[in-house]
Every structure is written in structure tokens, then in C-alpha cells.
Amino acid sequence: MYQLHKSGYQAFLVGGGVRDVLLGRIPKDFDIVTNARPEQVKKLFDYCRLIGRRFVLAHVHQRGEIIEVATFRAHHNTGVAGEGVTENGRIVRDNVYGTLDEDAVRRDFTINALYYDISDFSVLDYANGLADLRAGVIRLIGEPVVRYQEDPVRMLRAARFAAKLGFSIEPESAELIPQLASLLGNIPPARLFEEVLKLFLSGHATESYVQLQRYNLFKQLFPFTEACLNNTIARAFVEQMLHNTDERIRQNKPVMPAFLLAAFLWPALLPNLPSKSVKKINQQEVWLDAFQRLLARQQKYVAIPRRVSVLIQEIWRLQLRLTRSRRGKNKCLSVLKHPRFRAGYDFLLLRAEAGETDLAEEAAWWTEFLKNHPEVNKGSSAVSASFSPKKRLQRRKYKNKREKG
């Protein structure tokens, strides 16, 4: 900001960084706005990358952080080429550069339209955001129906801020959400994947879920899960997973997106899994087919990257092995060497805790096994080392060589 200011440009800290500091919170990141064009920003910083097509942003790399720098934006004038309303009601327009005043009225919520000015160390409040911040209110700037149609993801953002800050959504902004929730179906599923991570992996997953259910938004993201939530066990499973996720984040423990999504989709998957094995039918193939069919259907709503969907399937596949592998020491150790064993075991505990039939004994058995077995007590590093990809490749080459010879 000082570099921009010294170079003759305006520079302001804006949005969540200002909001969180005023609330006494530690900001997750900082966004900068300026009247400098992206190309001008790039000339000022050695490590700067321009991204975006419809609206170019500058990503400045400093001290291991990425600072997003945006040029002031403005609304299009009515009738300008590039502005239009799609047949599904969503307003689409390209962004144009503007002034500070124009940038402020384009912000989504009043509490995000606060600007910190380093020239005189003041906070500029363009939309009565300080009053809403004190009152704990999330209020859209402008006409709510128009702002939601411009970008339906604002409905998810309103729910997320309500959950994160403990605020209430202003009535006029809130009552339209259930009516317009279906507009999320027009948002690229890949973008919704990022929104899901923000909603559920920021330490307020339980309250985010409450807000999404309140405003008919959860169904837009996970319709197959929503259809199962009238089942007491399914509902308990999801709610317990969200509680555990928040608890892990509070304890600074890692949380896998794959585990979260595997749990969200499990209630929809479970009815499609055979309850008993059938002779001459490969159980794993039946399960794998069910996995892939559900994930393919879910991709139309929230696009799950392949790197994540592979881990989801590993966690699910382990459920089959964990509930049928107590046939001897070697089989148990084989399951234990799986690189995703801990996630699979935690998933089994979650299922048992939610009340799935006949799993309490299985979960207790594995817990006792992990506690008492001498080979387990060598530590997870020994287990993972004995099951490294390199050693597996060496074994495979040796096996192929022996078969040929």
C-alpha cells in the first residue's frame, strides 16, 4: 500500500481485513484496491502476476503471502454491450474500471464496504457499514433481488458471514434467499466447490450448516444428501461430522476436504451398497460402481476435483475392509498399512457414533487393536515406510520378473 501511495496512486485496505480488525479478529487475508491499472501495479513489484479474464487482478507476492490488488470497479451503464440478463434470470456483465465511490457501491455487503486509508489512517464508510458492524447485521448494498441475480453466490456468502461472525441477515436480504436459492444451479460447479470449503473448513461448519438449511441452500449443493436427512442416523452422522470438524480446527489439527465430502455423501451412498455379500460377485467392484455413480451425479452440483474424489473413494473402500478384515493378524496389518487407514478408521468411528447398525463392536475392536498391538506401537512412520510406493514398485517388478523367469 505504501509503495502504491509513494508512486502517486490511491491505495486502500478493504473488505474482510478491515471488518475483522474492527471486530478484534485476526484477518485471514488482506485485499487492496487502487486506482492504478493492473499493468501499472505489475511495474511496481518484482513478484507480481496478473490473473483473470473478465476482470484482471494483480497478485503481489510478498514475504510468502499473496496480496490481491484490484483496480476500482464500476457498474456498467444500462444498455452497454456485454451487459445482459440470461434466460435463467442471472445478470451477467463484464467489469469496468471506476472510481473509489463507484467501487464502494459495487461491494456486496455494507460491512465489506469499509476502506482503510493509509494517507490519513482513517476508515471510510460508504454504506453505513460501521453501524451494521456494531449491530451485528449483514445487509446487502442496493436492491437485494438485483444483487443476488448479479451473483447468486452472495446468498452463500451471506450464510457464511452469519455463521462466522454470529450476525443476523437483514430481513429483506434474508427473505429472498429461499426464493432465489435455485439460481445457484447456474453457477459453475467448480466455483461452488471452493465455496463449500470456505463454508465448512473455517471453524464454523456446524453453524454454516444451520444457516444453509434455514435458507434452503444446502439442498442446492448436496441434493442427494438432503433427500436422506429425514433419517435420524443420517442426520446424526452429518451433524457429528461437522462438530468434529470444528473441534479439530479449534485444536489446530488438519482436516481433509476429502473426509468432509466423503461424510456429506455417505448418507446418499449407503442405501446403494449391498448389506450382505453375494457369492461369485466381487464386493469391491459393486461398491466401486456405487461410488462412481454417486460422484458423477454430484459433480453437476459441486464439482469435486479428481485428486479429492480419489481420496473420497479410498476412505469409502476402507469401510468394506475394516468391517470384514478381522480374520487374522496378517489381514489386519495389511489394512493398517493403507496410507489412508487413519481417515478410514475415524470414518468408521463416526459411523458407529451416529448409530449405524452393528458397528459399535467393530469400532471398539479396532480401537483396542490400535491400543494394544505391539506392531502398531512402533508408530505410524514405520507403517508408512513399509508401504511406500517405491517398495510396492520394487515388489511388482520382482514378481513380474519371477513370473517371466
- Determine which one of 31, 103, 125, 132 is catalytic: 31
Q: Which phi and psi (to 5°) does residue 259 adopt?
A: -65, -45
Separation CA 341–CA 321 (nearest Å): 10
Q: Are 70 and 40 in contact (CB under 8 A)?
A: no
C-alpha dihedral, 184 to 186 to 188 to 194, nearest 10°: -10
Q: Which of 112, 191, 193, 123 is nearest to 147 (CA)?
A: 112
- Determine which one of 108, 125, 132, 246 is catalytic: 108
Separation CA 93–CA 99 (nearest Å): 18
Which segments of 272-338 does DSSP mark as H helices, in order? 283-298, 306-322, 329-336
How many other β-carbons are positioned within 10 Å of the β-carbon of residue 132? 20
Residue 306 CB contacts under 8 Å (≥ 6 apart), including other chains: none
Q: Are 267 and 238 in contact (CB under 8 A)?
A: yes
Separation CA 72–CA 75 (nearest Å): 11
Handedness of CA 87, 88, 94, 95 (dihedral sign): positive
H or E segment and range at residue 56: none
Residue 73 CB contacts under 8 Å (≥ 6 apart), including other chains: 55, 95, 96, 97, 98, 102, 103, 106
Separation CA 200–CA 248 (nearest Å): 12
Report the SS3 class of residue 104: helix
Q: Exposed e or buried b for every residue in 334-362, given b needs 16+ CB within 10 A?
A: ebbebebbebbbbbbbbbbbbebeebeeb
Q: Which of 328, 306, 313 is nearest to 273 (CA)?
A: 313
Check if 29 is active-site. Answer: yes
Amino acid at 317: R
Separation CA 17–CA 11 (nearest Å): 14
Report the SS3 class of residue 186: helix
Check if 108 is active-site. Answer: yes
Active-site positions?
Answer: 29, 31, 108
